Structure 1
């Protein structure tokens, strides 16, 4: 099926839509955590770094959310956002752990260390699967329903943007 230039300019491709989802979810969770933590930062220079990061993430999210009008959207249940946030944060941690172990293994020259890292990578993969399955079962990560997935992203980003700090 051929798409006209106008269709291509007004509709995101599936692969870029999924990348957009990953960026918005990751930055929304990060923004919420940073806004929550800034009050505990005592060092003025570090506090300025936190403030700049908040401003940058807010600007990023606002720019990225503008592209959601080019994707399908629907309703989201606001009551589920807190559990979804914590589960999403855990999923991001689990995903990053898998990536970090995989990278570390490629840098390992010592067989004993490689064996330990490989064992721990397998545990990280299983943990990721458990967290993902929890999120999927509870409707926090509707990975087979793009409309719901993107709607959840918008709600999470709006919540992160509206948080005071």
Structure 2
């Protein structure tokens, strides 16, 4: 399987989030395992540590392919791609904001993140409607949607 020369911006942001999340989790597990005396629980911790380490190594291998200033013109070649990229970002924004909201205890922060979530949902709706209206996301026509996926994948593979 051939690797893309440069990852998309939204992929890079997801890799960033996963790397940070897994790194912090790995540090916590490595600190915690020192205090675990139960053999079975210690074994579970060790397996999870091994999985996180392996996952982090794989994620770090992707960092050389993250976008650098000037790279965007190499793969952002049309309006459909840009709109799709914004749609993907909007989905991630809704998801990440909703997750953050479930972790709040402070009323002011909860109110603020609720506003942010509503704004993110509205933004997602705007870009989805744009794409749908311009025939870029035929979400109610499965055959056409899948054909677009194949065309996009083929375009990406040929780059």
Instruction: Give the CA deviation at 1:50.
Output: 2.9
- Match status 1:130 vs 2:126: yes
Task: Tell me what 1:155 maps to.
Answer: 151
> What is the CA–CA distance in structure 1 between the aligned matches of 2:7 and 2:89, rounded to whole Å?
15
Task: Tell me what 1:110 maps to.
Answer: 106
- Within the candidate set 25, 49, 52, 2:61 is matched to 49
CA contact (8 A) 2:6 2:65 kept: no
How many residues were matched structurally?
A: 98
Instruction: Give the CA deviation at 1:34.
Output: 1.1
- Match status 1:140 vs 2:113: no
Q: So what's the TM-score if we normalise by structure 2? A: 0.54
Task: Tell me what 1:34 maps to.
Answer: 7
> What is the CA–CA distance in structure 2 between the aligned matches of 1:51 and 1:135, rounded to whole Å?
30
- Give the number of the structure with larger relative contact order, counting CA–CA contacts within 8 Å between residues 6 or more apart: 1
Instruction: Give the CA deviation at 1:84.
Output: 1.4
Q: So what's the TM-score if we normalise by structure 1? A: 0.53
- Match status 1:82 vs 2:78: yes
> What is the CA–CA distance in structure 1 between the aligned matches of 2:5 and 2:139, rounded to whole Å?
22
Unaligned runs of 5+ in 2: 10-56, 67-76
CA contact (8 A) 1:135 1:141 kept: yes
Unaligned runs of 5+ in 1: 1-30, 37-44, 55-80
RMSD: 3.0
> What is the CA–CA distance in structure 2 between the aligned matches of 1:151 and 1:133, rounded to whole Å?
20
